[in-house]
Copies of this chain bind each other. A is one copy, B any other.
Amino acid sequence: MPFDPESLKYDANGLIPAIAQDFASGEVLMMAWMNAESIQRTLDSGQVTYWSRSRQAFWAKGETSGHVQKLVEFRIDCDRDCLLLKVDQTGPACHTNRRSCFYTVVQNGDEVITAAPMSA
């Protein structure tokens, strides 16, 4: 069946959550949002482009930082309301300069930081 981005289920703001996972290690790097046009741009270019809710603008990941995400695999969930992107991540995915945004773990009721920012 041909894939049509318009066939997905978007929220009231026309957005769908997209999980980025390192294609090689399986590490979950981040979660961000896409609209239909950013999905089309991602598929057309092979470089992941999100929709920035704070800036209300397309967010070509790594455009300014160089920390680009090359699309390796594009997956849709059973309800068509969430995406899983397997990516080839250059450098850190997180704006804190860590590889993954999920560097805080809850252990015995406390928050523990498990990763330091990567050196430049």
Give the number of times this chain occurs in the complex, counting copies: 2
Complex: how many Å from CA A4 to CA B43?
39
Q: Classify chain A's interface size.
A: 35 or more
Cβ of A19 < 8 Å from any Cβ of B? yes
Residue of A17, A25, A79 contacting most chain B CB atoms (<10 Å): A79
Complex: how many Å from CA A20 to CA B79?
15
Instruction: Give residues 1-47 of A contacting B (CB, 8 Å).
Output: 1-3, 17, 19, 21, 25-28, 30-31, 43
Complex: how many Å from CA A72 to CA B2?
38
A interface vs B, CB < 8 Å? 1-3, 17, 19, 21, 25-28, 30-31, 43, 73-79, 82, 84, 94-96, 98, 101-106, 109-111
